[in-house]
Structure formats: structure tokens, C-alpha cells
A and B are shown apart, each in its own frame.
Chain A
Amino acid sequence: QVQLQESGSGQVKPSETLSLTCTVSGARLTSGRDSWDSWGWVRLPPGRGLEWIGYIYHSGTTYYNSSLASRVTMSAYASKNQFSLNLRSVTAADTAIYYCVRVDARNHDGFDIWGPGTPVTVSS
């Protein structure tokens, strides 16, 4: 069964870069059935709603939320079965629980698998 696990910095100072990694188990990032899938990031700020950050296809093509695009980079590392999120120049507004997800292209691009989430706090 496919599982995702986020890891990375839980506390980041304002203006610095938030870096998270998602490790995929039970599936390969870039081959087989999984070539239909893409992999993404979603966040849930305290007291607010879900926000899509972006996703990366098996081909390496990326799509980002336009409100974050100038600060976001996503990458995939097939040999490690991982993908990553970098968010530059963070502010307190970037404090949230960050989730990595599998985007299931065979089912209307629903986010069918989620990591448990990792809390990130932006504070000096």
C-alpha cells in the first residue's frame, strides 16, 4: 500500500527558506501505474482552509499556485523515491501544517493518498 511521509524543518525564521521532503513507499515515483500519477503539496494554516501549493508530474513538469509561484520550487528524486518542496522568503503567513499528496490522474486528479502532515512554524 502506498504511504507518504513528510520530513524537514519544523521551525523557520522569517525571510528564510522552508524545505520539506516527502518519501514515497509502496510505489515508484516515476514508473509503471504510477506514471499516471503526480505528486503534490497542500497546506492547512491555523484557523484557515486547505490551500493547494503545487504538484509535479512524473515527467518533472510542475504547476504551482499562482499566489505562491514566485517563491516555490518542487523537485522529484526518482532514485530516492522522494519529492521536495522549497518555499523561499517565508513569513508568519506561511505557518501551517504541510501535507504531501498523491494526485490520482485516473480518478479526476483526486488527492487520494496523504502524508500525516508536518507542522511548520515561521518565527524568529
Chain B
Amino acid sequence: QQQVKQSPQSLIVQKGGISIINCAYENTAFDYFPWYQQFPGKGPALLIAIRPDVSEKKEGRFTISFNKSAKQFSLHIMDSQPGDSATYFCAAIGGSNYKLTFGKGTLLTVNP
């Protein structure tokens, strides 16, 4: 049972465009939703995170939109740059032991 579903699997965007990655979850006990960015050969790095009492959070070019009633959240990357090319994972945390449940990842390629 996949608790966090992520789409698309891969995404190609032109430089300056908007990249959008979507995630959906089932478990209503989740109460924290981080996004991680991973470059080849590196560990996942925390990019931005949101709690369900907030509908949107913005940090620089990165924005999370959160729809609690639909149990969906998304990452928007504005003015996408070639340096943003990486794999992005959405995740969710809930419960007393703070276990992360990940989506399967989106490989983003930003063409120059």
C-alpha cells in the first residue's frame, strides 16, 4: 500500500518555466509534509516543508501548495534553472516516532 503517491515520474521543463510536482496521501495522521531534493550520488536534502494548517508556503523560487480536504500537496518551482535538475521527493510524517513516508520521486530535467 503506497501511502504517498507522487506524479509525474519524470518532467522536462525549459529554462525559465514552471515545474510542478504533485503528491497525494491517504493517512490523515500525517501532520508534516517535507520535500527533498536529491542530486546524483548525494543524500536527499530538505528543500521546503509545510504543515496542514497552512495552505501555501513560499521560499524563494520554491512554493508548496497544500489542499487538506483533497489530501494533496504540490511543489512549484518558478523560473526553473538547469541547476534545479535533480530528483524531487515528497514525503509525509505522522505519529510519535516521526517516520518519513516517501513518494517514489520525480526526475526533473531543466533544459537550457
A binds B: no
Residue numbers of A with Cβ under 8 A of B are: none
